[in-house]
């Protein structure tokens, strides 16, 4: 079993972010009480002998929590299950929160992996997307965490800024590699939801990067990171050998997980998906009134399960195992998908190795299109 905790607070909102989070940090104490209430309320979803394999604190900004908050959460988890065999316990942090004291405090807790939202090493870009840190703060944060005992560190990088050049991206990559992280995640800047960047795009104040340059950038990322020993194991993720994220991999291999906190998703590993409502105030009220946490569920059909398998597995380096897909589809549907897969083999987007269909380098450049064509 894998556990996820959504910490829905940010000091300010970044211009591109459509994630659920709010800036009312004065509610953090009440939120942590409510989170611990939810852990206890849902304790029956965890077997007493259940082995917790990974824990992930994401957000929002988990690094807004204090030692006291983390101890409260960990003590509550430990009161209902054993986390001593947990292989990976990750916390996402923002560079501007990391001082020597904070890094030391994190290391005194069960965390053994850190994910840092660096996003860019160019100060103009950082201010364009309204991040709260500059590049020096990001470098200092990584150094502080390394000095204070963290060796398993992942860095996030955004590419595809308006007018960004390959040279600028190359500088970003070189700066990140020089910090010697074990893992790097790269994301194309997206314009989604109701964000200030979407507004600027609508008003034609900015323009999206053209597709050709985006593709060249993605190729640059793959080649540069490969040359420095970061192996691509998923469309957006690169790791030194043995440092792939175990927690994120659970989402791509349909493992069961429980998500706590507003907007967090859970999956039973079979056909039920559940998500807490994206409403912090109602979440806290549930604790105050000792009522159930507001959530919704969805029963996944065979078609949903097959599509999900296609989408998640093809995005990984291991690819899609045809036997796994066969267990989720009818013979007729499987035949249809295999015919489409053949078309992509002929166009050199997909290769077949034994029972696995894998995207080629060319295929990785148009993953979303290929997956949408294969959907049932
Ligand atoms: S810190 Fe992360 S979650 Fe918060 S607004 Fe920025 S991108 Fe979104």
Same domain, 247 and 309: no
Query: Which of 226, 251, 276 marks a domain boundary?
Result: 251
Task: Identify whether 164 is part of a domain.
Answer: yes
Q: Are residues 235 and 340 both part of a single domain? A: no
Q: In terms of residue numbers, what domain contains 8? A: 2-251
pLDDT, averaged across the chain: 95
Convert the pLDDT of each residue in 120-166 to its tens digit: 999 999 999 999 999 999 999 999 999 999 999 999 999 999 999 99
CATH number at residue 309: 1.10.10
Residue 40: inside a domain, yes or no?
yes
19 lines ligand 1 (CB under 6 A): yes
pLDDT at 50: 83
pLDDT at 48 exceeding the cut of 80? no
Same domain, 191 and 86: yes
Low-confidence winner among 19-28, 256-265, 361-370 (lowest mean pLDDT): 361-370
Q: Write out pLDDT tens, residues 222-258.
A: 999 999 999 999 999 999 999 999 999 999 999 999 9
| CB of 94 shorter than 6 A to ligand 1 | yes
The pLDDT value recorded for residue 220 is 96
pLDDT for res 111: 98
Q: What is the pLDDT of residue 140?
A: 97
Q: Are residues 225 and 311 in the same domain?
A: no
Count: domains in the chain:
2
For residue 118, pLDDT beyond 90: yes
**117 domain-assigned:** yes
- What's the mean pLDDT in 188-208? 93
Does a structural domain hold residue 310? yes
* Boundary residue ending a domain (220, 251, 282): 251
Instruction: Verify whether ligand 1 is closer than 6 Å to residue 126 (CB atom).
Output: no
Model confidence band, residue 329 (pLDDT cutoffs 50, 70, 90): confident
Atom 8 of ligand 1: nearest residue by CA position: 17
Of 225, 251, 277, the one marking the end of a domain is 251
Q: In terms of domains, do 213 and 105 share one? A: yes
| Whether the CB of 10 sits within 6 Å of ligand 1 | yes
Residue 266 in any domain: the answer is no
Q: Residue 7 above 90 pLDDT?
A: yes
Check pocket membership of 60 for ligand 1, CB cut-off 6 A: yes
Residue 375 has pLDDT above 90, yes or no: no
pLDDT tier, 9 (very low <50, low <70, confident <90, very high otherwise):
very high
What's the CATH code of the domain at 53? 3.20.20.70
Looking at the chain, the whole-number percentage of residues with pLDDT higher than 70 is 100
270 part of a folded domain = no
Average of per-residue pLDDT across 48-68: 94
Asked if 64 and 123 sit in the same domain, the reply is: yes
- Same domain, yes or no, for 15 and 99? yes
Identify the weakest region by mean pLDDT among 31-45, 172-186, 303-317.
Answer: 303-317
Q: 200-209, 262-271, 329-338, 350-359: which range is least confident on average?
A: 329-338
Q: Is the CB of 187 under 6 A from ligand 1?
A: no
- How far, in Å, is the centroid of ligand 1 from the Cα of 193? 14
Instruction: Specify the range with the lowest mean pLDDT, choosing from 4-8, 32-36, 140-144, 215-219.
Output: 215-219
CA of residue 23 to ligand 1 center, whole Å: 10
Pick the atom of ligand 1 nearest to 131's CA: 6
Asked whether residue 357 is domain-assigned, the answer is yes
pLDDT tens by residue, 176-189:
999 999 999 999 99
Q: What is the pLDDT of residue 376?
A: 82
Check residue 108 and give its pLDDT.
98
pLDDT at 327: 87
Q: How confident is the model at residue 286 (pLDDT cuts 50, 70, 90)?
A: very high
Q: Is the pLDDT of residue 216 over 90?
A: yes
Please tell me the predicted confidence (pLDDT) of residue 328.
85
Supply the pLDDT for residue 187.
Answer: 94
User: Are both 54 and 119 inside the same structural domain?
Assistant: yes
288 lies in a domain?
no
Reported confidence tier of residue 68, pLDDT bands at 50, 70, 90? very high
What is the pLDDT, as a whole number, of residue 40?
Answer: 97
For the record, the structure tokens of 45 come out as 């979803």
Same-domain check for residues 58 and 143: yes
For ligand 1, atom 7: residue with the closest CA: 17
Q: Is the pLDDT of residue 168 over 90?
A: yes
| 8 and 67 assigned to the same domain | yes
Q: Is 13 in the pocket of ligand 1 (CB under 6 A)?
A: yes
* 241 and 316 together in one domain: no
**One domain for residues 228 and 120:** yes
């Amino acid at each position: 079993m894998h556990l996820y905790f959504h910490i829905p607070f940010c000091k300010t909102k970044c211009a591109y972010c459509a994630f659920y989070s709010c800036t009312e940090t004065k509610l953090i104490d009440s939120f942590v009480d409510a989170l611990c209430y939810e852990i206890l309320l849902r304790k029956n979803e965890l077997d007493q002998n259940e082995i917790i394999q990974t824990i992930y604190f994401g957000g929002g900004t988990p690094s807004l929590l204090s030692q006291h908050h983390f101890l409260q959460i960990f003590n509550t988890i430990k009161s209902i299950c054993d986390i001593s065999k947990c292989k990976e316990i990750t916390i996402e942090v923002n560079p501007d929160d990391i001082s020597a004291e904070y890094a030391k405090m994190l290391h005194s807790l069960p965390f053994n992996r850190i994910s840092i939202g660096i996003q860019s090493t160019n100060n103009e870009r950082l201010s364009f997307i309204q991040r709260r840190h500059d590049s020096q703060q990001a470098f200092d944060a990584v150094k502080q965490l390394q000095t204070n005992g963290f060796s398993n560190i992942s860095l996030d990088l955004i590419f595809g800024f308006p007018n960004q050049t390959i040279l600028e991206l190359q500088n970003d990559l070189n700066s990140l590699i020089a910090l010697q992280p074990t893992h790097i995640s790269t994301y194309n800047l997206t314009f989604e939801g109701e964000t200030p960047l979407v507004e600027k795009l609508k008003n034609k104040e900015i323009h999206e990067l053209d597709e050709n340059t985006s593709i060249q950038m993605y190729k640059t990322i793959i080649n540069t990171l490969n040359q420095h020993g970061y192996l691509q194991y998923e469309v957006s993720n690169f790791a030194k050998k043995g440092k792939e994220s175990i927690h994120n991999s659970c989402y791509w291999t349909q493992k069961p997980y429980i998500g706590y906190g507003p907007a967090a998703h859970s999956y039973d590993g079979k056909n039920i998906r559940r998500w807490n409502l994206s409403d912090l105030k109602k979440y806290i009220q549930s604790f105050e009134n000792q009522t159930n946490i507001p959530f919704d569920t969805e029963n996944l059909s065979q078609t949903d399960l097959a599509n999900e398998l296609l989408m998640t597995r093809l995005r990984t380096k291991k690819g899609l195992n045809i036997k796994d897909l066969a267990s989720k589809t009818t013979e007729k549907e499987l035949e249809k998908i295999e015919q489409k897969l053949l078309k992509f083999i002929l166009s050199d987007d997909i290769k077949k190795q034994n029972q696995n269909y894998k995207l080629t380098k060319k295929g990785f450049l148009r993953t979303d299109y290929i997956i949408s064509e294969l959907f049932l």
